[in-house]
Chains A and B, each alone.
Chain A
């Protein structure tokens, strides 16, 4: 099986907010990488997970499918999924596939964290 042409790393932005930094490509070969990153973020106690796409080089339709799968998983765990750092092109793809109706999209990481903290405070 081909290896994924991308990496994902997890860091904590606050006790209940984790960020997954996505670098390189997201396609069907990224499934294990993404789900491992999600598991790591969850084990850190994250209620909100922010997908940081600023290092994304390419995403195909299978990659978008993986995001839907991840979204369903986070919903089951009562977690929230946010996105930031998307290029204009991938913002359009989120709109086209109507992912933006379920994943809030922010311009940058700081805005996403602020939003997550506001929701937590409320």
Chain B
């Protein structure tokens, strides 16, 4: 199916992020909002609120002569560029390496079928990297609780690029958004867009196949309290506070407020 057996060129431990209790954001490009990640813990598929879904998206890169490792390298280098408009990923100078933080500024929809409108500033931790795969894990407050694996493998002589998400909505607000406001559809569109962008890089008009499985239909009510860390709500308050920060900056010229 999906991934390599792990890189043999680097020490095996180097593929995994080291122990972390609270995330620490390294210096990031100034245009990144950088909210809701610093000091947060990570949150996996066993945490989170809604039903647990495994969703697999694939595109066949027919005719591409590069090896899965080479394709993955292209994907890593263009990770941010392959995102849909409105989905901005930022990484530190270290790039995509185990334990590194990537920041994400995005928008979630207000009504089903509409483009994203409500801002959400969040991020992800690089959990695992090898020659042919990357796994990103979500912090607390992220819309989804779990991880996403981006991988390339070969099947019948053709490279297949794959995104596999493994997670739940993080809290009741996000679950409402996923189910009723089109969040789930937007998420599926996002990963399809990424795969099509990768295919387009090679001049291929790709076709994305997607299959999903509900691994656990239960709601985890004990996780409903995560709503206090909801990154979208906190980002809205951040924007609402912009005028106050602007006024404060007027009176403290040495301290740039954002």
A interface residues with partner B (beta carbon < 8 Å)? 1-2, 5, 25, 27-29, 31, 58, 60-62, 65, 68-69, 71-72, 75-76, 89, 92-93, 95-99, 101-102
Contact = CB atoms under 8 A, between A and B. Distances in A.
25 contacts: A2-B5, A25-B5, A27-B3, A27-B4, A27-B5, A28-B1, A28-B3, A60-B6, A60-B130, A61-B133, A62-B2, A65-B45, A68-B44, A68-B45, A71-B46, A75-B216, A89-B16, A96-B17, A96-B42, A97-B44, A98-B46, A98-B47, A99-B44, A99-B46, A101-B46
A61 B46 contact: no
Contacts of A99: 44, 46
Interface of B: 1-6, 12-13, 15-20, 42-47, 52, 54, 127-128, 130, 133, 135, 137, 147, 149, 155, 164, 166, 215-216
A1 B1 contact: yes
Contacts, number: 84
Contact of A96 (B1, B16, B54, B166): B16
The 10 closest A-B pairs by CB, nearest first: A61-B135, A61-B128, A28-B2, A72-B216, A98-B44, A28-B1, A60-B6, A62-B3, A28-B3, A92-B19
Contacts of A102: 46
Contacts of B45: 65, 68
Contacts of B46: 68, 71, 98-99, 101-102
